[in-house]
Structure 1
Amino acid sequence: MTSDTSRASLLAGAVLHGVPVVPGIQYAPVIRPGKLPDLDLPADAQVPEGEREAERERFSTAAAAVADRLRERAAHATGPASEVLAATATLATDRGWLGAAEKRIKDGAPAVRAVDGAIDQFVDVFTKLGGLMAERVTDLRDIRARVIAELQGLPEPGVPLPEEPSILCAEDLAPADTAGLDPELVVALATTLGGPTSHTAIIARQLGIPCVVAVTGLDDVAAGTMVMVDGTRGTVTVSPDAESARSQMADAKRATDAAASWTGPGATADGHPVAVYANVQDGAAARAARNTPAEGIGLFRTELCFLNTDTEPTVDEQAKIYAEVLEAFPESKVVIRTLDAGSDKPLKFAGHPDEANPALGVRGFRISFNNPGLLQRQLEAIALAGERTGTSPWVMAPMIATPEEARNFAESARSHGLIPGVMIEVPAAALLADRILEHVEFLSIGTNDLGQYTMAADRMSAELATLTDPWQPAVLALVAMTAKAGVAVGKRVGVCGEAAADPLLGCVLAGLGVSSLSAAAAAVQGVGAKLSQVTMQQCRAAADAVLGAASAAEARAAALAVLG
């Protein structure tokens, strides 16, 4: 008996637990991505001095080829897939690690070993920085694998193309692995690492396939093993009873099919309105969202349009980009977020300082402290886009921490004829939501960062994934406080973090007093359909039960007990 067969026999029937990301149930065999190419070099191998320049050029050509392929894939992708591929392509051309590799080659290291050493160096730097920079570790390792494969003349590593519907299991998945997946063949995702806001989670939501991350024991499940992934409960069952698994999968499919018939607008079964919007990052994504029942755009992430731009786009160039989104929903609400740059989304033209902890540094609205013109030009461009399209854009600032910041932003926005609001991502802002609402017309809660900062846990850390689970009662208590402040003065409070993409949690958020939910376009129907099946009284009962829970798992179970 092989070791894989022995392991499968021992694991048969085992239920592995992780953090649920995308609801649904699938039962299929496991596939796993290819591994890093073998370096196949003695540690003391040296390139003769006369051949080092040629070796450096060979490396540069390989790195450029990898970056070009990533850019090409980004150009043919849409939505978050395009975003994460473009970001990875940018990292592939980063002068930091490229320079480190070239220095190693100049000192005599073969290109393959130079790449391996340089990437290891930057993995260590990013890991020590923590925060959102830790997310880039997976991207760096993916780039290493691709460049080394190119140098060795091997096929690019990545996800194999399955011949039948399969479940992709991995330690972690890089953006380039997940961005091109066919949801007809890869029907669910499960990873050992990652968190509820990781690249894997974001792409799974876009594809609309069940996903569970931070699964303990998943590495022991061999390729070919039949497993059942339950993206609602956050479990992976190894070699389950086939008849039972197929029955549960059929039940889940019936629920999904029922959701597909929902056409909006967002409201509970007893008619309480809860608007359901889409999150987008460019005109193409907005046009795609128009094919869903989304009632408008609750979050337009403007910074993602400029990740590969060396110089600041002109006001006119920006206005053309913003107008594309406004034109997709000309008679609907469109909320444009000003640049949320910094940390894991550095913009070359923003002049980011080197920081020990970028997640707690100069990011979002704080960029305007030393570069006020950047914000003013963006607001001017948004106003120009509204003028050209005959629309009235809503605009909000990210990373607001104080009422004074909210007031300053609101004054700037109103001076351009825009409707001002702010993001609630910092616990301090949630605690003072009533005072912030004195200055702005609406609030939008970003649960991804609010969870990270509330729980003092890097949202990309697999070890801390249970802490950054959006079901954490402490995070939901801050959401409740913010929503209550909005209700008291008759101003709208929405949620645009990934929590809004969870149909069950969406009902709880409505019960807390949230007036709108904005999620990935693929999640709109599921969220809206679930809301339409429950009453506001049920939503409020579930919210009360969740706030009384002691853990994220207990909160989720309490909501399931009330809402089904």
Structure 2
Amino acid sequence: MNRLTGVGVSPGVGFGTGYVLVHEIPVPAADARHGGDAELERIRAVNALEQVAGDLEGRGVRAGGEGQQVLDAQAMMARDPGLAAGVAELVAEGRSASRAVYEAFGRYREMLAGAGGYLGARVADLDDVRDRTIAALEGLSLPGVPVQAAEPYVLVARDLAPADTALLSPGVVAAFVTEEGGPTSHTAIIARALGVPAVVACPGATAIPAGTPVLVDGTSGLVRLSPSGEEVDAVRRAAAARAAVLAASTGVGTTADGHAVPLLANIGGPGDVDAALEYGAEGVGLYRTEFLFLGRKEAPSAEEQEAAYLEVLKAFPGGQVVVRTLDAGADKPLAFLPPAGEEPNPALGERGSRLFRIHPELMAEQLTALARAASQVSARIQVMAPMVATAEEAARFATACREAGLPSAGVMVEIPSAALRASDLAAEVAFFSIGTNDLAQYAFAADRQLGALAALQDAWQPALLDLVAMAAAGAARYGRPCGVCGEAAGDPVLACVLVGLGVTSLSMAPPSLPAVRAALARHTQQQCLLAAQAARAAVSPDRARAAARSHLPGLVELAL
């Protein structure tokens, strides 16, 4: 075995000694019982959960940016009132604190795994909180990740928890490789935020012998073991040449013949602004406002929201800032709202913009805060709703925005019906933004976190390209801009194809901006169009990618 193949989720090449992380906490015995004092045992469990939550929050503060948002969401799991109630019930029946925690988490685990979407993606995070809590109760030490090393190493694991990775830096870790996970797992999110190459859904990764030299290609998904010195040198030379070209790629996004394509950043809050500016973002294409709401017992006040929005808007004077309204609901429960009731499949339930039908006051307060913030700056704010399926829903949201004093209202295209009837929606709103991750999930009936179905989540699937083309055409019919804010936008090859499909702007994780900017600058709009046509004519993702590259000769000099 000298090579493994997985799914590349963060571009670049990393080389170093493999460090295999084994995260095994013994399962508490099924018959483990406490000594008779149920209240004392319950308090032990509650204290352990709070200890874990506090540790995660502390790590988040040190990590900052997107890492902090991820860890804060994980701390919320440890403080979930429903989980605490489940633990108390099991302890009252006689289970030991550790066994009660294990079983209570197990119930949640089944629910999350079946939910898909955002909650389905959080199973690994839940397992990590469970293991950390049991370790605290049993006095065990969790295997740690070295945060300092003489040379960067390749971190290999079955899966990686945010607490393991959020404090790392490119100077410590050369690449991530995991057996599980998908393009939107937290491993992938944090890797892209750090600018570290990563490969997920890579079978056999944890069997790599400790100390083995590992070469990781985060674009192709190829993992090579014990490569020759010549091979490593060749890859490093190509990477250095590519880095030099990318470093020289500055300015606004444009094709070789001057067709403007604004290049924007995906952010989760003010903490991500510095990275967006560092990599030359022209604005924000996706501001995920849910991070203001998750993990709280009370909704953020209008004043708190206004301050957070204002901080981001001030960073882009005269620039474009696209804000997504609260994307929460059945599969991102908010502690301060009553549960929507039992839903067989929360990923298809009362979430996104549908939540506002139940709690219109929540949308009204958020839109008011956004309008107040927008009135104080020169940034061009645009507000969009997630999970919109019909023209009626689009019209309802646009009306609410106008009434709040926000003239530019748009919608996320992440449900196939929105792409299929895009022109109907375009008649009601000012712009579209395509979320390719969810659009693929719903189009192919494939959970975006299930590694076994990663091929169906490939953004090069011709059917997905067809849906993007439909959405762009519907928008163009009414002269509306149509951006892409899914992970597909950060693939420099696919970025050219998206422009050829009619997409008017691209938004991505900030470290992906230079490569996309360079790829566009080396190709004309006509070349992008021909690449898009060739990709749509293919019958598989691999063939679509190869067909597109044949029309994009400038990729060779970029080593892409």
In 2 relative to 1, CA 350–551 (structure 1 residues): closer, same or farther, beyond 3 Å? farther
Moved more, 152-161 or 497-506: 152-161
CA root-mean-square deviation: 1.9
Matched, 1:215 2:202: yes
User: 1:558 corresponds to which residue?
Assistant: 547
Counterparts of 1:80 and 1:254 in 2: how far apart (Å)?
29
Q: What TM-score does the superposition give when structure 2 sets the normalisation length?
A: 0.94
Match of 1:379 in 2: 367
Deviations 1:381-431 (A, max 9, x none): 111111133544211111111111111111221222311111111100001
Aligned residues of 2:115 and 2:331 also touching (Cα < 8 A) = no
Per the alignment, residue 12 of structure 2 pairs with: 24
**How far 1:476 sits from its partner (Å)?**
1.2
User: What displacement does 1:307 show?
Assistant: 0.8
Alignment correspondent of 1:176: 163
Equivalent residue for 1:195? 182
Deviation of 1:182 after TM superposition, in Å, equals 1.8
Cα offset, 1:250, TM superposition: 2.4
Which of these residues, 381, 392, 412, is aligned with residue 423 of structure 1? Answer: 412
Number of the residue aligned with 1:238: 225
Structure 2 residue corresponding to 1:105, chosen from 86, 91, 101: 91
Q: Which residue of 1 aligns with 2:356?
A: 368
- Residues 283 and 328 in structure 1, CA contact (< 8 A), matched pair in contact too: no
Matched, 1:538 2:535: no
What amino acid sits opposite 2:512 in the alignment?
A: A
> Do 2:20 and 2:208's aligned partners in 1 also have CA atoms closer than 8 Å?
no
**C-alpha separation between the residues in 2 aligned to 1:387 and 1:517?**
26
Task: Please give the alpha-carbon distance, in whole angstroms, between the structure 1 residues aligned to 2:393 and 2:221.
Answer: 39
Q: Residue 344 of structure 1: CA displacement?
A: 4.0
1:435 is matched with which residue: 409, 424, 429? 424
Deviation string, structure 1 residues 258-297 (Cα, Å, up to 9, x no partner) = 2122222001122211110011121222244223311111
Structure 2 counterpart of 1:363, one-letter code: R
| CA 220–445 in structure 1, closer or farther in 2 if over 3 Å, else same | same
Superposed counterparts of 1:373-522, under 5 Å: 373-418=361-406, 419-522=408-511
Deviation at 1:126, TM superposition (A): 2.1
Residue 81 of structure 1, CA deviation: 1.1
Q: Give % identity.
A: 47
CA gap 1:231/1:390 in 2 versus in 1, 3 angstroms:
closer
Counterpart for residue 69 of structure 1: 55
Paired with 1:507 and 1:139, the residues of 2 have a C-alpha distance of 35
* Secondary structure of residue in 2 paired with 1:465: helix
1:291 equivalent to 2:291? Answer no
Shift of 1:42: 5.2
1:103 and 1:120 mapped to 2: Cα distance? 14
Residue in structure 1 matching 2:537, options 542, 548, 551: 548
- Partner secondary structure for residue 470 of structure 1: coil
Q: Which amino acid aligns with 1:265?
A: V
Cα deviation, 1:301-356, whole Å, max 9, x if unaligned, reads 11111212222233233212211111111211111111111244322234441322
Structure 1 stretch displaced more, 22-31 or 110-119: 110-119
Equivalent pair of 1:266/1:275 in contact (CA under 8 Å)? yes
CA distance in 2, matches of 1:487, 1:125: 41
Indicate which of 303, 327, 333 corresponds to 1:340: 327
Aligned counterparts, 1:197-346, within 5 A: 197-346=184-333
Aligned residues of 1:146 and 1:157 also touching (Cα < 8 A): no
Structure 1 unaligned segments of length 5 or more: list them.
Answer: 1-10
**Contact 1:507 1:531 (8 Å CA) reproduced:** yes
> What residue identity is the alignment partner of 1:47?
H
Secondary structure of the 1:112 match is: helix
Aligned partners of 1:34 and 1:158 also within 8 Å: no
| Conserved 8 A contact 1:168-1:190 | yes
Give the C-alpha shift of residue 31 in structure 1.
Answer: 0.9
Q: Is the 8 A contact 2:113 2:123 kept in 1?
A: yes
Q: Unmatched 5+ residue regions in structure 2?
A: 556-560
Give the letter for the 2:476 counterpart: V
What do residues 204-228 of structure 1 show as CA deviations (whole Å, max 9, x unaligned)? 1101111111113323222222222
CA distance in 1: counterparts of 2:252 and 2:336, whole angstroms: 40
- CA shift for structure 1 position 67: 0.2
Partner of 1:125: 111
Name 1:44's counterpart in structure 2: 31
- Provide the rounded CA distance (Å) in 2 between the counterparts of 1:168 and 1:306: 32
CA contact (8 A) 2:4 2:205 kept: yes
| Residue of structure 2 equivalent to 1:6 | none
